[in-house]
């Protein structure tokens, strides 16, 4: 709809103003937006309408899978692949499998936590339009940004700019796609 515009970004110098702006943008009906802060800010993701619990679900599933894998490996090695009769003791000596079962769970769950988090975040991502804004490099230092994206049905270059300016930002900048 706006081929020359990814969105409009407003810059703030403290997390509280960003949080207020995010809340009012959400109540004004904007949906396609993102906030940027140099550290996690409590409530900010919720304020821009983010809801997801996929990371913990993936990690839970991976943990169960890893534990089954660890146990299964031990069982298979000692019962199927290389059965070894030691003084008539049972082949399926499950108490001895506990450490490897546990390590398997932790290993697969941790790898999934990191890889899953990156995948859900769409990283690695070599290019993103917000980096076209020169001042955006301070998002990793001491500035806080709110970007309303042009894909939002309610987006209008003039009205949205006006809306963001009402939130008392330091600056409002157009983001090239």
| Helices (H), ranges, 42-141 | 44-47, 54-75, 98-120
Residue 148 host element (H or E): strand 144-149
Q: For residue 124, is the peptide bond before it cis, meaning its omega torsion is within 30 degrees of 0?
A: yes
Binding letters toward other proteins, positions 7-26, x by CB under 8 A: --------x------x----
Q: Is 127 in the site for other proteins (CB under 8 A)?
A: yes
**Minimum distance of other proteins from residue 157's CB (angstroms):** 22
As measured in angstroms, the least distance from the Cβ of 113 to other proteins is 5
Exactly one of 140, 151, 166, 168 binds other proteins (CB under 8 A); which one? Answer: 140
The minimum distance between CB 38 and other proteins, in angstroms, equals 5
Give, as ranges, the residues between 35 and 64 that touch other proteins (CB under 8 A). 35-41, 44-45, 47-48, 50, 52, 54-56, 59, 63
Exposure b/e, 43-65, CB count within 10 A at least 16 = b? ebeebbeeeeeebeebbeebbee
Determine, following the binding rule CB under 8 A, whether residue 31 of this chain makes contact with other proteins: no
Nearer to other proteins, 74 or 167 (CB): 74
Spatial CB neighbours of 102, under 8 Å, sequence gap ≥ 6: 67, 70
> Coil, strand, or helix at residue 160?
helix
Binding mask of the shown chain, residues 97 to 126, with x at each position contacting other proteins by CB under 8 A? x-xx-xxx-xx-xxx-xx-xxx-xx-xxxx
Q: Classify 144 as helix, strand or coil.
A: strand
Helix (H) or strand (E) holding 16: helix 15-27
Read out DSSP for 18-53? HHHHHHHHHHTT--SEEEE-SS--TTHHHHTT----
Binding site for other proteins (CB under 8 A): 15, 22, 34-41, 44-45, 47-48, 50, 52, 54-56, 59, 63, 70, 73-74, 77-78, 81-82, 84, 93, 96-97, 99-100, 102-104, 106-107, 109-111, 113-114, 116-118, 120-121, 123-128, 130-131, 137-142
């Amino acid at each position: 709809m706006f081929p020359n515009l990814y969105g409009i970004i407003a810059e703030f110098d403290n997390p509280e103003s960003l949080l207020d702006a995010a809340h009012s943008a959400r109540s004004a009906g904007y949906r396609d937006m993102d906030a940027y802060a140099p550290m996690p800010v409590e409530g900010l993701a919720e304020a821009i309408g983010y809801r997801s619990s996929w990371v913990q679900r993936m990690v839970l599933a991976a943990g169960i899978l890893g534990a089954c894998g660890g146990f299964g490996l031990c069982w298979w090695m000692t019962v199927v692949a290389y059965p070894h009769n030691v003084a008539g003791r049972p082949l399926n000596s499950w108490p001895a499998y506990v450490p490897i079962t546990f390590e398997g769970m932790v290993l697969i769950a941790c790898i999934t936590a990191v890889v899953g988090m990156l995948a859900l975040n769409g990283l690695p991502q070599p290019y993103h339009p917000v980096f076209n804004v020169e001042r955006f490099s301070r998002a990793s230092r001491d500035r806080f940004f709110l970007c309303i994206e042009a894909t939002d049905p309610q987006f209008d270059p003039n009205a949205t700019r006006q809306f963001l300016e009402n939130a008392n930002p330091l600056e409002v900048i157009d983001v090239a796609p």
